[in-house]
Chains A and B, each alone.
Chain A
């Protein structure tokens, strides 16, 4: 157990005694990280730069992209107040989805880890299995469940809870339900991986130290699984912000997202430069917000990553 002590001591690698270990450690870091970084730079950053250049351009009379008069006009246009409602929609849906996914996902990840025993891996794969079907058909299935004369409404009426169908489809509710459903595995998996890493002795010790199981959980288990929680939050919130298909298919007139606006500009509007600019604005806002949140989180949670 003595091994799980201050990780900060790991940087003993850069002691003044010998710098060679420090250099080797850095080289090793580079070796580990280089393939990933190299790949992303080549196949993500470079294409993104191309699109950035497009965002500085405009369209010619035939709707082709032209860089004749590069400018930041499209960025100025991107701050159009018309996008505020849809931006807020995106934030709202992504936030609620993340909170729900974490709230629903944590207990089940915990259950699989603690009580899964020999079947842990099987149970995790079972979590993923529904998502190896077609997204569109899963969405249609939700429509079948949620529509006015669908399964849910039929059950509600059968049990006498309602006398008429409630409108469930094409609402905020159906969107959040659909999104949470879609992102649940993205929360469960990192949570599980982190919870499963926990030393049960630590949990037992915690229970000895604290009067209630709840306190033990809050003060021992939860902080130790913080990296998993952060990972789950990242893997849910960030993609959810850019999800336009679920709100489009399951939502109604009030659920338009900014991702849909961007999509529309590129395709229906045939305006790559404008769409690209709006896309970059969204990305920068999201990135800034995420980095700020992460830094705040790290400062508050000691040892968390």
Chain B
């Protein structure tokens, strides 16, 4: 694992100054934040950065604003804001396998004396069934952002206690008030991604830029599409100049027609993109952006692009639930995930970009500089998000999808 502070003698003032320099936080900014959110909340991330996996900074300022001094505990104490209930000693997480960095979990366990148990699922729909109406026995999971409003309305997701989430300041500005969850009242964003086209340049000896490349008869039987009706229809609708969330059945029919034309060329519809693209049978496929990095471990120059017609983006969130057995530990964990180092550790593991602005310093530069994983904001703004559609609309899509797949 990484360095561990034993919490004994640290030169606090020196550490604080070093942290501020590293993170380009001016004294003025720090004082402003203290004024805004309170001393403990503003300083907690700094203290957290010391005792969590990074270990590069610690703090307990001796010369900060006087109101802070009293509430700052000695370095070995818990970095969470004072006057908080203590965690319950256990935490149950439901997620994909390998979706959280081991270090992140371990540091949380050590810091709060909490035993973390992970349970797994392989598709988001499965996850929702296991969560049920109140979270089942799970404290933490990762619902897709567009599903959050529905879950909130059904009373599945619990409201967050912002006083326990000082690290929330680390979020990039564009994530501070997302449409699906205003002011991040119930969830905080976890990862975001784009969906586009990936190809093996050794097989596809040109540089396609359009999603029409997936309809190219030259690659017959070497094309793959995602086994996800919303993604597939989304891509097609965008290509035809419509919204990926179209509710117009005529447009849906047009998309279906185009997809029927494509079907003889398609080798497989699969969400196992890494397996499919590395097996060599598929040369160009409909994939999620971050998969490109994983595939590159096998095919080093594997390329990915967001179609020029437009692409799709998505994000997921971390949430805790109304029936969760360990709410305090859950909130502490969410805060833990928002820590810059931890968020970066997760991104470095799974190659998805997080919403955490402060984390950018610690993310593998190869990922950060890759425009396909981390596109410019203006490109991101142009991407469409696949929304949760109304039942009747969804049924229309699904019946066309069944027709296509039959």
Judge: A and B partners, yes or no.
yes
The distance from the CB of A79 to the nearest CB of chain B, in whole angstroms, is 14
User: B229 contacts which of A144, A149, A256, A268 (Cβ < 8 Å)?
Assistant: A268
The 9 closest A-B pairs by CB, nearest first: A267-B125, A85-B406, A256-B405, A170-B268, A269-B398, A147-B281, A148-B281, A82-B402, A147-B279
Cα distance, A270 to B228, chains bound together (Å): 13
5 A-B pairs, CB-CB below 8 angstroms? A83-B406, A84-B406, A170-B267, A253-B268, A267-B125
A129 at the B interface (CB under 8 A): no
A298 at the B interface (CB under 8 A): no
Q: Which residues of B contact A143 (CB under 8 A)?
A: 275, 279
A109 at the B interface (CB under 8 A): no
Return the chain A residue nearest B262 by Cβ. Answer: A253
Q: Which residues of B contact A265 (CB under 8 A)?
A: 398
Q: Which residues of B contact A267 (CB under 8 A)?
A: 123, 125-126, 129
Binds B, one of A55-63, A118-126, A199-207: A55-63
B219 at the A interface (CB under 8 A): no
Interface of B is mostly: helix
Return the chain A residue nearest B402 by Cβ. Answer: A82
Q: Which residues of A contact B364 (CB under 8 A)?
A: none
The distance from the CB of A142 to the nearest CB of chain B, in whole angstroms, is 11
Q: Is the CB of A64 within 8 A of B154?
A: yes
Number of A-B contacts (CB under 8 A): 74
Cα distance, A61 to B403, chains bound together (Å): 25
Q: Is the CB of A268 within 8 A of B125?
A: yes
Cα distance, A270 to B229, chains bound together (Å): 13
Cα distance, A236 to B386, chains bound together (Å): 41
A261 at the B interface (CB under 8 A): yes
Q: Is the CB of B125 within 8 A of A252?
A: no
Which B residues are closer than 8 A to A by beta carbons? 123, 125-126, 128-129, 133, 150, 153-154, 221, 227-229, 263, 266-269, 272, 275, 279-281, 391, 394-395, 398-399, 401-403, 405-406
Q: Which residues of A contact B279 (CB under 8 A)?
A: 143-144, 147, 169
Q: Which residues of B contact A149 (CB under 8 A)?
A: 280
The distance from the CB of B148 to the nearest CB of chain A, in whole angstroms, is 13
Contact with B along A251-274 (1 / 0, CB 8 A): 111001000110011011111000
The distance from the CB of A172 to the nearest CB of chain B, in whole angstroms, is 13
A167 at the B interface (CB under 8 A): yes
Q: Is the CB of B125 within 8 A of A270?
A: yes
Q: Which residues of A contact B280 (CB under 8 A)?
A: 147-149
A86 at the B interface (CB under 8 A): yes
Cα distance, A84 to B405, chains bound together (Å): 12
Q: Is the CB of B268 within 8 A of A63?
A: no
Cα distance, A64 to B151, chains bound together (Å): 11
Cα distance, A167 to B129, chains bound together (Å): 37
Cα distance, A84 to B123, chains bound together (Å): 27
The distance from the CB of A147 to the nearest CB of chain B, in whole angstroms, is 5
User: A61 contacts which of B227, B391, B395, B399 (Cβ < 8 Å)?
Assistant: B391
Q: Is the CB of B263 within 8 A of A167?
A: no
Q: Is the CB of A82 within 8 A of B399?
A: yes
Cα distance, A304 to B51, chains bound together (Å): 74
**A82-B281 in contact given A143-B275, A252-B266, A253-B268 (Cβ < 8 Å):** no
Q: Is the CB of B281 within 8 A of A62?
A: no
Q: Which residues of A contact B263 (CB under 8 A)?
A: 253
The distance from the CB of B298 to the nearest CB of chain A, in whole angstroms, is 13
Q: Which residues of A contact B399 (CB under 8 A)?
A: 80, 82
**A82-B268 in contact given A147-B280, A268-B125 (Cβ < 8 Å):** no
Q: Which residues of B contact A167 (CB under 8 A)?
A: 221, 281
**A83-B229 in contact given A140-B275, A170-B281, A252-B267 (Cβ < 8 Å):** no
The distance from the CB of A188 to the nearest CB of chain B, in whole angstroms, is 30
